[in-house]
Structure 1
Amino acid sequence: MMKMMRNKPTNFPAAATATNGGRGSVGGGRESGGHEWEMRPGGMLVQKRNPDLDPVGPPPPPMIRVRIKYGAVYHEISISPQASFGELKKMLSGPTGIHYQDQKLMYKDKERDSKAFLDVSGVKDKSKMVLIEDPISQEKR
């Protein structure tokens, strides 16, 4: 059998139990601890949230440094591990002077697609890659 629930006294703040006892409305009442309370549509009394203090989601992953060799020069780029190779190519177009569509990025002796993600391909902090200029795609453009 199921037990019946009894009416128990609650620990709601005085502003919520009073019907306006000189403190203002129930939704904007303040407890002595500085907490604001609000009444939800279902009648539940909850502590107000501050959207500025609440984290939106998990923190972003730490940036990784990738070393890219182009000719005899090494370029060190800081990028998110969840970025794609295409985003890395766009970042490299400035220092190298090569259009991102004319670049081939080699990682672990394989050319990587621009849509592939760095972390899925196994790129970690201080990973090394080789950048090659693709003359065929340059002629196509």
Structure 2
Amino acid sequence: MMRLRSKRFSRSNSRVGGGGGVSPGATIGRGEIKWELRPGGMLVQKRESKENSGEETMITIRVSTVSKWHDISIQATSTFGELKILLSILTKLEPHEQRLLFKGKEREDDEHLHMVGVRDKDKVLMLEDPAIREGKLLGSGRTTRVIGAPYRTISV
């Protein structure tokens, strides 16, 4: 019976037989490689990130509206809802009146920027909600159905 062994994570530093394995304490280039064991049991190279040091990474997003561009600095772990709140200050549109699109898809308020792939200097498109815009053009904020009068509506 033959046992197969992965060369990638072998513990031996032997160079006999093409031992190109990487040991947990291996040094490549600038320094020592640090490894971590993920909850699923996968051994991966440990990343050096600012999250470990307690700092939040700030990214700059370029938001395009119909008439102009806005460069906004925000934390990478923020949500699209938080971005809408910042945009409401700049554009005078309430967050529920805004529609944010990234990579051709409308994003929900509870989606995190870093989870959908927003990185530093990426572009996000902001549009006004067409239903609310139509309501503003007609001059009525909303229509409400009167109880007891099935076919009548009044403007509020």
TM band (smaller chain):
0.5 to 0.7
Matches within 5 A, 1:1-141: 58-137=53-132, 139=135
C-alpha separation between the residues in 2 aligned to 1:132 and 1:69? 9
C-alpha separation between the residues in 2 aligned to 1:78 and 1:60? 15
Show CA shifts across 1:75-99 (max 9, x none). Answer: 0110000000000000000111100
The residue type equivalent to 2:57 in the other structure is P
Show CA shifts across 1:82-140 (max 9, x none). Answer: 00000000000011110001100000010000000000010000010100000325658
Range with bigger deviation, 129-138 or 107-116: 129-138
C-alpha separation between the residues in 1 aligned to 2:101 and 2:72? 15
TM-score scaled to structure 2, two decimals? 0.51
The residue type equivalent to 1:81 in the other structure is A
Superposed displacement of residue 61, structure 1? 2.3
Unaligned residue ranges in structure 1 (runs of 5+):
1-56
TM-score scaled to structure 1, two decimals? 0.56
Contact 1:67 1:127 in 2 (8 A): yes
- Structure number with greater CO (CA < 8 Å, separation at least 6) is 1
What is the aligned-residue identity percentage? 36
- SS state at 2:101 partner: strand
C-alpha separation between the residues in 1 aligned to 2:132 and 2:114? 26
RMSD: 1.8
Contact 1:67 1:76 in 2 (8 A): yes
